[in-house]
Structure 1
Amino acid sequence: MSHVDIAKVQVIAPNFKKRLSGVTSTVVRLVPVQSRDITIAATGPVIPAHVPQMPLASLITMPRSGPDGPRVWHARRNVEMIGGLALKYLLGKRLKLVFTSASQRKQSGLTRWLIRRMDAVVATSERGAAYLENPAQVIMHGIDLDGFAPAQDKAALREKLGLPVNARLVGCYGRIRASKGTDVFCTAMADVIKRNPQIHALIMGRAVPKDRAFLQQIKDGIEKQGLAGNFHFLPEVPVEEMADWYRILDLYVAPQRWEGFGLTPIEAMACGVPVVATRVGAFEQIVVQGTGTLVAPENPAALSTAIHDAFSPPLPIDDWRQNVRPHVAQHFSIEREAAQLIALYRRLLSAG
């Protein structure tokens, strides 16, 4: 486990959630890159061993000041903002508080109250910044281009993962719930598969207890149509294994009804996989002309048409495939995101 000397820690990145989420993924992939240029440690109940980290309990006992005077506390959830405020005002720790907001909707009264007490606010998109009462610096998410890269042998990897080697594979990954549009994806894919049985749908993610009936309803609908053999419902895998599940795809679909930012299309594109997405979150900035196509949210017919057309002559998907990784490399590298955040941290640390 990669423990950091607490006395040397300049920046703390809390991750107070046990389960995999978009925020957890952000912390896990970003902190190791940031640690090359600043002494940063993640902390939380479950942090992967390769991530520089400090035990949760050490937050109570750590020295009041860091090596530069204050430390930066970079929160990404309400509970983490509350934790930073408690450490600062109840335990007297010298902290500069930063919050990243990925939301694209009006925040609750509690969230607005917490944000007003931050020393700096980051938004992950221009659209998200417009919803904030406080001034925010826009820093878009990036991706590790070494960790997320195209497969050298896609057929061999598919065989290893137990997937159809010669099929066209279309994926949709993330939490299974209505806001993520899992049902929209499956409705659209059922229509696509009826027209082209060589296409298979991969759905990977976790349904929490309140969403299990929603998932079962989707599965029952697929079963009734006799299409179960073309749909693969896969269990959630650790963050470090996700790249393989993108590499084996021919097309990735992001069918969200609502999204704060939306990292999965970038991950797919870094692996050389074109994307069909809805016009929510930051997808309009991510999926540009020549890398895929966009449709209105909550429109299974439009989504079905877009997916079907991608695989139809003159096969636009072949052209998109050539463009996606260069586009991500130019605009969405994790090194760019890390550098912009570190510059913000240093400004706060130097202000004392």
Structure 2
Amino acid sequence: MTGLRVALLTHSTNPRGGVAHCLALAEALCGLGHEAVVHAPDPSGRGFFRAAACPTVSVAARTVTGDTVDLVRTRINDYLAHFGSPAACDFDVFHAHDGIGGNALATLKHRRLIPGFVRTIHHLDDFAEPQLADWQDRSIQEARRLLCVSHGWTGRVRADFGATAEMVGNGVDMAAYRPTPELRDSVVRERWALGDGPIVLSVGGFEERKNTLGIIEAFARLRERHSGAQLVIAGGASLLDHTSYRARCHATLTVHGLAAGSSGPVIETGPVPQSDMPALYRVADMLAFPSLKEGFGLCVLEAMACGTPAIVSLRPPFTEYLAEGDALFVDPVDPEDIASAMATALVPEARAQLRTAGSARAAAHSWRACAERHRDAYAGCARMRQEPTHA
């Protein structure tokens, strides 16, 4: 397939898994000879959370003071304003990675500004708000082709929508995420006042589907045996409102005498610069990622590439791409099981085995292979361009 111009749309410029996937995919597509341009609403005007080796567009976006419905509606309209002319729609393929971009592209399709679009479903949310559910459904039903990052979600799409989705997977940049210690490691350790540990890392902030409460309960048990243990809760930038769940997490921390702050036994970092993430993985003794619902869990591959043992749920998608011995599998609703895995991750023999297996598993997931699968999926969806005529 000759070089394509691909417009990729994601929901924000913040460090979330779907956004990280979108940027890395575009970089790999560019490496295959295509022009892949990542778009995202950017109310701050600061651009994406990391520099990218692909073209990016910060879509002008308005500040929103209302609820999540108001926010999503505004972001859809921000996209429609940006792509409101034929010149802005001069792409061969339009590829949405979420319901916001998907709804904007569905409207553009009805306005005959684009011929159709591809939609990646990283995961499906169970929205209580009908309008949010309707937007999610429309972004899937209106797409010409559907993609998922794991097999479990292709089955869910088939069950819920009667539609076929193709599995395209995920990747990890082994050049950026590596186990070799660097000077930045000590900088990160000092910035967050990390002691001798053990250090438990959780990525995703306080979010119910990330099972932060289960991690907290397990960590409290670990602290009974390791008084110097610290829990680092990194990230948390989200369009959805997690205020209620966050309050539950802080109440549980208080019960256990573990107030969260910028230092101490529980450290809440907020969004972490991309350049610091490899170092944060390396200084951690383990990644605790027993999610209740996950599209893929990109941070698991990143941690493994950095030589950090991972604790994951004994359920899809983790059971799809990880084998026994690659990670420590747990029942995510059993804090005792998670705590037991945390203790196992500290045993030298287990750590050595997990580092070896995890590194090999991460190396098997390249962004180039992921981009090649996307290139094949774009076939039949690309806008046909007329060849220039010659007198």
TM-score by length of 2: 0.77
Relative to structure 1, is the Cα distance of residues 44 and 102 closer, same or farther in structure 2, using a 3 angstrom cutoff?
A: closer
Aligned length: 339
Match of 1:42 in 2: 38
Quick one: which of 49, 64, 85 aligns to 2:106?
85
**Whole-angstrom CA distance in 2 between matches of 1:224 and 1:116:** 45
For residues 274-313 of structure 1, the C-alpha deviation after alignment (integer angstroms, 9 at most, x for no partner) is 111112441113432222211112110111111112324x
Alpha-carbon shift at residue 113 of structure 1 (Å) = 4.1
Task: Write out aligned runs for 1:326-345 (5 A).
Answer: 326-330=360-364, 332-345=365-378
SS of the residue 1:54 aligns to: strand
Q: What secondary structure is seen at the aligned counterpart in 2 of 1:35?
A: helix
Helix, strand or coil: the match of 1:131? Answer: helix
Specify the alignment match of 1:144 in structure 2.
173
Q: 8 Å contact 1:261–1:282 — kept in the other structure? A: yes
Q: Could you tell me which amino acid in structure 1 is paired with residue 203 of structure 2?
A: Y
Taking the aligned partners of 1:230 and 1:55, their CA distance within structure 2 comes to 38
In the alignment, which residue of structure 1 is the partner of 2:251? 217
Matches within 5 A, 1:239-278: 239-278=274-313
Percent pairwise identity: 19
Which residue is 1:54 aligned to? 57
Show CA shifts across 1:134-165 (max 9, x none).
Answer: 11111111111112222424863554444435
1:98 paired residue among 112, 118, 121: 118
Structure 2, unpaired ranges of 5+: 60-80, 128-132, 386-391
In 2, Cα distance between the equivalents of 1:250 and 1:165?
12
Distance in 2 separating the partners of 1:109 and 1:16: 17
Q: CA deviation at 1:59?
A: 2.1
| Larger CA deviation: 44-53 vs 174-183 | 44-53
**Residues 62/298 of structure 1: CA separation in 2 closer, same or farther (3 Å cut):** same
RMSD between superposed Cα atoms in Å: 3.0
Per-residue deviation at 1:87? 1.8
* 3-state SS of 1:142 partner: coil
Q: Distance in 1 between matches of 2:174 and 2:368?
A: 9
Moved more, 182-191 or 15-24: 15-24
- Residue of 152, 159, 173 corresponding to 1:127: 152
Separation of aligned partners in 2, 1:231 and 1:58 = 42
2:346 pairs with 1:311: yes
Give the unaligned 5+ runs of structure 1: 1-7
Query: Structure 1 length normalisation: TM-score?
Result: 0.85
Aligned-partner residue type, residue 289 of structure 1: E
Q: Distance in 2 between matches of 1:290 and 1:163?
A: 32
Shift of residue 273, structure 1, vs aligned partner: 1.0
**Aligned residue for 2:71?**
none
Whether contact under 8 Å (1:71, 1:94) holds in the other structure is: no
Distance 1:199 1:238 in 2: 24
